[in-house]
Structure 1
Amino acid sequence: MSAYLITSVSVVGGPPTDLLIRDGVVAEVGAGLSAPDATVIDGTGLVALPGLVDLHTHLREPGREDAETVESGSRAAAMGGYTAVCAMANTSPVADTAGVVEQVWRLGREAGLVDVQPIGAVTVGLAGERLAELGAMADSAARVRIFSDDGHCVADPLLMRRALEYVKAFDGIIAQHAEEPRLTEGAQMHEGEVSTRLGLIGWPAVAEEAIIARDVLLTEHVGSRLHVCHVSTAGSVEVLRQAKTRGVRVTAEVTPHHLLLTDERAESYDPVFKVNPPLRTAADIAALRAALADGVIDVIATDHAPHAMEDKECEWAYARPGMLGLETALSIALDVLGPEWDLIAERMSRTPARIAGLTGHGVDPAPGVPANLTLIDPSARRTIEPAELASRSRNTPYARMTLPGRIVATFLRGEPTVLDGKAIK
């Protein structure tokens, strides 16, 4: 295997030091290291973080390879500084059997750019009527531990209870898309002043908050593990805060776009800003940022949702919800949180790796640990050009925005997937 010597780099915001990567691991850390056989990377001004881990990625394969493939999504992830992603189940066919999750897992291994960990569906076909083969997926080669019908809520409380009970046997997690469907029929955006002004049917905050409250109680009753996807409202934050105070085993994520963009973006009627859950208000953003800082929200997850051109470049009412996120998430985190490197590492690497059970990921660079890491230049600024993204799709809400930070390199088990800001494969 190759050897790399990264000189004068700041590890998670610490003082400059050298990192020697050899045989897939961080071999040495210290000042003045020497390795004649190693490729030298000048890390002056760069920050080394543990490789980022995304708990919420849509890779679209199988079924919608026109929007994304496991390979193209993996490349986008590597370009964003990620070394592992969890692939959501809403593919075609749905990842509700051992065969489909193993297919996604093997495609990830073949691409070799990031570790792809499939998430299995909770219910057959995401239909919310009967449980999928949770045990078979858990016992498969993919070793599925997180299950989600993301894109659909597990609305039936009895079915949700049974799912929580089932996965408790192997310490699995149910990741819920919190949306009471009867309250969001025909919804086009956040319910509030802007939706009233635009004449669009609103998606009320209570539709999210009611499901989270219900599921927290079910999780507490069963003694299982719940993860709440893409939290978007201030009310949800308070439900989660109370649950954590009681010791309920619940974790939660927030997306970059819910930390930055408000529902006022819908005034343009540009479908790139249509997402589920919808963009909320400035007050919600403030509550989400505070919750992220104090740990009520555990993770930044991208909800990377690529769509083919015909599914986005159409009238708002007919556009599919979703935005790209993998290649811009770290920049948004830096913009929102500032250079709080330990907090960024905690929310984007350590904690998501721990939740997903991804051994070898989410570990700060230190002697003997797997060399899964990313190098970022925090002083750089870049303008997002959709045509230059690695994803097959172009539905980024940050087009032509100038964002802080640039990924210089990403390493997966000691081998570079990105060098000098360019993908290796």
Structure 2
Amino acid sequence: MAKIDLIVHRAKLDERDVDIFVSKGTIVEVKDSVKHLDSEDAQIEEAYGLTVLPSLTDVHVHLREPGFEYKEDIESGLRTAAWGGFGNIMCMANTKPINDDDSVTALMLDKSREYWPNGPRLFPIGALTKKLKGEELAPMAELAKAGCAAFSNDGVPVKSTELFRRAMEYASDWDRVVIDHCEDPYLGVAAGVNEGAVSSRLGLPAQPDVAEALQVARDILMAEYLNLPIHLAHISCRKSVDLIRFAKARGVKVTAETAPHYLLLTEEYLEQDASEYDTNAKVNPPLRTEDDRQAMLDALNDGTVDCLATDHAPHAGYEKETEFDVAPCGISGLDTALSVTWQLVRDGALDKAAFLRGWTTAPCSIFNLPVNTFTPGDPADFFLFDEAEEWTVTAETLHSKGKNTPLLGETLKGRVKTHFIQGKKIV
């Protein structure tokens, strides 16, 4: 057996009390716990019965650096990720300058190594088109060589289907997947509220669910025609789920993510009373109906939706404290994602297997990222989690610079106590 340098003693894994043996950053063995553990050479981490979970992966995060460091920066974003249970983070390209140049990619990676040399790991997502304008392809070869793990035009839908086709083809040459923000570019773009009863009561311009589903259909047909993969970001409604389920049955190489807020919240969270709204619940795509929320849970449970992603979008307080149509879309989600999705598991709404697939194996498989399944040889990426600890969501309890969440004031259950990446304690 390899020389053991870390032993986690008396952790709860799948309802078993286990000891986890780590050597040189990888899992060596997981076995039933013993009462007394003696080791002269290895570091022993006493878990005291805390739950151990593999480090999570978030494939859709806005870290804001460079250019918008007042909202979030790489140091604060990765700190939030570490305390949120995330070991791999994929960050979007809508920075300033935009990540359509390998020098921007290099800056992101250099900053992550400077502040968090032992992880969480950062995987930049390169811009699909120059300046995200949808007019000309970004230099995808250079971006891939610099370390971009995927390509996306982020929140700016590519209007030209011809250009989108070329982007998918070129990305495949570099074994990269295109991530698409599915939104018809002419139908209630970035309205931040679902078209329905709530938008009518509040008198707000709105986006119907069909705006998302139309682009989902286009992407599915293109993926099927080209026989190339496509990944659909932050799916929010039943119409989209039905299209994805039908496509998967035909063998189309389509994968999809949804975000915790689409599993937990509905459009009613926008409405504080009959005439007031909460801009912290303004997100794109918008929060939908209860029927859509249930459809997302069902789709995640049955595998139609492959993975979870926070779409962490931090903003400064003053940016949200304004008129609805001026306020930016986005919810700060890295701090709360683990607690709210684990609560869904507790409540029986989300299968534990779907939780683990959605946060670990599926995203890592889609984007070729490291993953821990507690199998010998896996990276020793895991955290100890106190399932019972209650905490209130306040500006002070959030690690992120972004305090923009509709969950402010809510009491959640479950907190990360310590986190290891490749056997090294990062928090």
Matched with 1:403 is 412
What SS does the corresponding residue of 1:125 show, helix, strand or coil?
Answer: helix
> Is the 1:306–1:322 contact (alpha carbons within 8 Å) kept by the matching residues of 2?
yes
Matched letter for residue 300 of structure 2: L
Matched with 1:422 is none
391, 395, 400: which one pairs with 1:386? 395
Deviation track 1:171-225 (CA, whole Å, cap 9, x = no partner) reads 2111000011210147341001111111111111000000000110001111111
Aligned partners of 1:55 and 1:78: how far apart in 2? Answer: 15
Aligned partners of 2:74 and 2:86: how far apart in 1? Answer: 14
- Identical aligned pairs, as a percentage? 40
409, 423, 426: which one pairs with 1:417? 426
Deviation track 1:57-103 (CA, whole Å, cap 9, x = no partner) reads 10000000001111100000000001110010000000012111121
C-alpha displacement of 1:385: 1.9
Map 1:145-184 → 2, pairs under 5 A: 145-184=149-188
Matched with 1:342 is 353
Deviation track 1:11-33 (CA, whole Å, cap 9, x = no partner) reads 2x141111133432234322325
Deviates more, 1:191-200 or 1:107-116: 107-116
Aligned partners of 1:50 and 1:296: how far apart in 2? Answer: 23
> Is the 2:7–2:45 contact (alpha carbons within 8 Å) kept by the matching residues of 1?
yes
Matched with 1:266 is 270
Verify: 1:324 aligned to 2:322, yes or no.
no
Matched with 2:301 is 293
What SS does the corresponding residue of 1:119 show, helix, strand or coil?
Answer: strand
83, 92, 105: which one pairs with 1:88? 92
TM (norm. structure 2) is 0.93
Matched letter for residue 138 of structure 1: A
Matched letter for residue 345 of structure 1: L
Aligned partners of 1:302 and 1:319: how far apart in 2? Answer: 20
Map 1:293-312 → 2, pairs under 5 A: 293-312=301-320
Change over 3 Å in CA distance of 1:315–1:2 after alignment to 2: farther
Aligned partners of 2:204 and 2:364: how far apart in 1? Answer: 39
C-alpha displacement of 1:4: 3.5
Change over 3 Å in CA distance of 1:44–1:219 after alignment to 2: same
Change over 3 Å in CA distance of 1:181–1:123 after alignment to 2: same
> Is the 2:101–2:143 contact (alpha carbons within 8 Å) kept by the matching residues of 1?
yes
Map 1:175-324 → 2, pairs under 5 A: 175-185=179-189, 187-268=191-272, 269-324=277-332
TM (norm. structure 1) is 0.93
Aligned partners of 2:307 and 2:153: how far apart in 1? Answer: 19
What SS does the corresponding residue of 2:390 show, helix, strand or coil?
Answer: strand
> Is the 1:186–1:201 contact (alpha carbons within 8 Å) kept by the matching residues of 2?
no
The CA RMSD measured in Å over matched residues stands at 1.7
Verify: 1:17 aligned to 2:25, yes or no.
no
Aligned partners of 1:367 and 1:138: how far apart in 2? Answer: 30
Matched with 1:7 is 9
Change over 3 Å in CA distance of 1:186–1:235 after alignment to 2: closer
Matched with 1:122 is 128
What SS does the corresponding residue of 2:268 show, helix, strand or coil?
Answer: helix
Deviates more, 1:70-79 or 1:399-408: 399-408
Aligned partners of 2:38 and 2:306: how far apart in 1? Answer: 39
C-alpha displacement of 1:274: 0.6
Aligned partners of 1:34 and 1:249: how far apart in 2? Answer: 50
C-alpha displacement of 1:408: 1.5
> Is the 1:253–1:298 contact (alpha carbons within 8 Å) kept by the matching residues of 2?
yes
Matched with 2:79 is 75
Matched letter for residue 61 of structure 2: T
Matched with 1:107 is 111
C-alpha displacement of 1:36: 3.0
**Number of positions where the alignment pairs a residue of Structure 1 with one of Structure 2:** 413
> Is the 2:192–2:284 contact (alpha carbons within 8 Å) kept by the matching residues of 1?
no
> Is the 1:49–1:364 contact (alpha carbons within 8 Å) kept by the matching residues of 2?
no
Aligned partners of 1:179 and 1:224: how far apart in 2? Answer: 20
> Is the 1:172–1:225 contact (alpha carbons within 8 Å) kept by the matching residues of 2?
no
C-alpha displacement of 1:146: 0.9
Aligned partners of 2:40 and 2:408: how far apart in 1? Answer: 43
Aligned partners of 1:233 and 1:255: how far apart in 2? Answer: 12
> Is the 1:62–1:93 contact (alpha carbons within 8 Å) kept by the matching residues of 2?
yes
C-alpha displacement of 1:37: 3.7
Deviates more, 1:344-353 or 1:73-82: 344-353
> Is the 1:324–1:397 contact (alpha carbons within 8 Å) kept by the matching residues of 2?
no
C-alpha displacement of 1:303: 0.3
Unpaired runs of at least 5, structure 2: none
Change over 3 Å in CA distance of 1:230–1:185 after alignment to 2: closer
Verify: 1:139 aligned to 2:145, yes or no.
yes
Verify: 1:48 aligned to 2:49, yes or no.
no
What SS does the corresponding residue of 1:355 show, helix, strand or coil?
Answer: helix
> Is the 1:171–1:225 contact (alpha carbons within 8 Å) kept by the matching residues of 2?
no
Matched letter for residue 247 of structure 1: G
> Is the 2:283–2:329 contact (alpha carbons within 8 Å) kept by the matching residues of 1?
yes
What SS does the corresponding residue of 1:362 show, helix, strand or coil?
Answer: coil
What SS does the corresponding residue of 1:316 show, helix, strand or coil?
Answer: coil
Verify: 1:365 aligned to 2:374, yes or no.
yes
C-alpha displacement of 1:320: 0.6
Aligned partners of 1:198 and 1:105: how far apart in 2? Answer: 43
> Is the 2:279–2:324 contact (alpha carbons within 8 Å) kept by the matching residues of 1?
yes
C-alpha displacement of 1:312: 1.2
Deviates more, 1:121-130 or 1:21-30: 21-30
C-alpha displacement of 1:266: 1.4
